[in-house]
């Protein structure tokens, strides 16, 4: 079983020719409301990839909260541990997606910020059943820490996707089995430059010394780098035409968790996650873009077709 501790947001998405600069107004095109939030996206992706998945998080007592819970439930996620908080609205994310597929996201966390370590205390039974826990940084850091401690106590493999980037203390690093930053997150966490593969490797090794067991650094269209003590491997990305990169990192992390929970070796898990991430960027929205296991099993045929269409 995969357990996800994290955020649920309603994404308010506008498509625009480009992301505005500070002070600039850009005329966009269509507007959509799509279920999102890094935690919820990861839970939804894991469930669509066939893993028994439980989500632990918080929404407000409002219609957006109900919609987010329903969206996860429909895709098979166990939402019994998604709490409804009084006096706080459900989290929302304002997202601009430009024609290149890149996005800019601002999150108003609302109820996500009220998920406390105490909320986890009654939930140890679920951790006892889990193989892998996924957690990100859109909920309070004390809650992230409490979840990592509880996972470690129950021999659950921990994956921390350190997004959005924030500085972390050494106790957190020591509780993480697999850290999955992108280059900018790695730069902030290590305090080192990450503008070349050599520098990324050095920054990654610096975090290994702080107690993280393994790092998988995601590099977007460049692929990812897997770093362990005395081991570095670059995994190239599949070349696809991105229409929206929202949730690509989330689906990558979820796929990694699903594969590792099945007992697959890390190399296979990264290959699987790379395929899932590639499929995600070819569709619009967060949870609306996450592939089903059946679709990923047909990846090779899908990829050939994509290449032909691009020619």
Catalytic residues: 250
Query: Of 1, 15, 38, 110, which lies in the binding site for ligand RIB, with binding defined by CB under 6 A?
Result: 38
CB of 11 to ligand RIB, least distance (A): 5
C-alpha 294/C-alpha 50 separation (Å) is: 9
Position 253 contacts ligand RIB (CB under 6 A): no
CB of 10 to ligand RIB, least distance (A): 8
180 forms part of the interface with ligand RIB (CB under 6 A): no
Q: Which residues contact 63 (CB under 8 A, 6 or more apart)?
A: none
41 lies in the binding site for ligand RIB (CB under 6 A): yes
The interaxial angle of helices 38-48 and 63-74, nearest 10 deg, is 20
**Which span sits near ligand RIB by CB under 6 A: 21-29, 36-44, 70-78, 272-280?**
36-44
Residue 214: closest CA among 274, 157, 279, 150: 157
In whole angstroms, the minimum distance from the beta carbon of 112 to ligand RIB comes to: 9
| Contact flags string 206-225 toward ligand RIB, x per CB under 6 A | --------------------
The reply on whether position 105 binds ligand RIB by CB under 6 A is: yes
What single-letter DSSP state applies at residue 154?
A: T
**Is residue 286 within the footprint of ligand RIB (CB under 6 A)?**
yes
Tracing tokens 């998988």 back to the chain, one arrives at: 216
Binding footprint of ligand RIB, residue count (CB under 6 A): 16
From the list 7-15, 51-59, 113-121, 301-309, the region that binds ligand RIB by CB under 6 A is: 7-15
Determine if 250 is a binding residue for ligand RIB (CB under 6 A).
yes
Q: What is the dihedral sign for C-alpha 132, 134, 140, 145?
A: positive
CB of 66 to ligand RIB, least distance (A): 17
CA distances (Å), 196 to each of 215, 234, 281, in order? 16, 13, 24
Does the footprint of ligand RIB cover residue 107 (CB under 6 A)?
yes
Smallest distance from ligand RIB to CB 68, Å: 10
Q: Phi first, then psi: what are they for 181, rounded to 5°?
A: -80, 160
- Contact between 75 and ligand RIB by CB under 6 A: the answer reads no
Q: Report the side by side order of strands in the sheet with 224-228.
A: 78-85, 53-60, 2-5, 132-135, 157-160, 178-179, 214-218, 224-228, 231-235
Which residues 114-143 are close enough to bind ligand RIB by CB under 6 A? Answer: 138
Shortest reach from residue 146's CB to ligand RIB, in Å: 21
Q: E strands within the chain?
A: 2-5, 9-16, 31-36, 53-60, 78-85, 91-98, 103-108, 132-135, 157-160, 178-179, 214-218, 224-228, 231-235
Tell whether residue 247 is a contact of ligand RIB (CB under 6 A): yes
Tokens of 204: 């990654």
Which residues sit at the interface with ligand RIB, rule CB under 6 A?
A: 7, 9, 11, 36-38, 41, 93, 105, 107, 138, 246-247, 249-250, 286
């Amino acid at each position: 079983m995969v357990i996800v501790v994290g955020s649920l947001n309603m994404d308010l998405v506008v498509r625009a020719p480009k992301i505005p600069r500070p002070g600039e107004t850009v005329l966009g095109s269509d507007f959509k409301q799509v279920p999102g939030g890094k935690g919820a996206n990861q839970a939804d992706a894991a469930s669509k990839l066939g893993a028994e998945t439980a989500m632990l998080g918080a929404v407000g007592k409002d219609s957006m909260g109900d919609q987010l819970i329903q969206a996860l439930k429909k895709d098979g996620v166990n939402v019994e541990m998604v709490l409804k908080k009084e006096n706080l609205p459900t989290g929302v994310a304002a997202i601009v997606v430009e024609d290149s597929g890149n996005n800019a996201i601002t999150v108003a966390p609302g109820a996500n910020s009220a998920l406390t370590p105490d909320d986890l205390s009654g939930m140890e039974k679920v951790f006892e059943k889990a193989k892998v826990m996924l957690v990100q940084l859109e909920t309070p850091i004390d809650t992230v820490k409490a979840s990592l401690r509880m996972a470690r106590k129950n021999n659950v493999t921990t994956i921390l996707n350190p997004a959005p980037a924030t500085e972390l203390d050494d106790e957190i690093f020591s509780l993480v089995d697999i850290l999955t930053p992108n280059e900018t997150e790695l730069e902030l966490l290590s305090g080192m430059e990450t503008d070349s593969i050599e520098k990324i490797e050095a920054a990654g090794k610096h975090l290994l010394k702080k107690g993280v067991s393994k790092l998988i650094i995601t590099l977007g269209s460049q692929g990812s780098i897997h770093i362990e003590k005395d081991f570095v491997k670059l995994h190239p990305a599949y070349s696809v035409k991105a229409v929206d990169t929202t949730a690509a990192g989330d689906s990558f992390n979820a796929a990694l968790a699903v594969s590792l929970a099945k007992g697959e070796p890390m190399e296979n898990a990264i290959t699987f996650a790379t395929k899932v991430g590639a499929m995600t960027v070819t569709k619009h929205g967060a949870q609306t873009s996450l592939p089903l296991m059946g679709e990923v099993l047909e990846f090779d045929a899908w990829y050939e077709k994509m290449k032909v269409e691009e020619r």
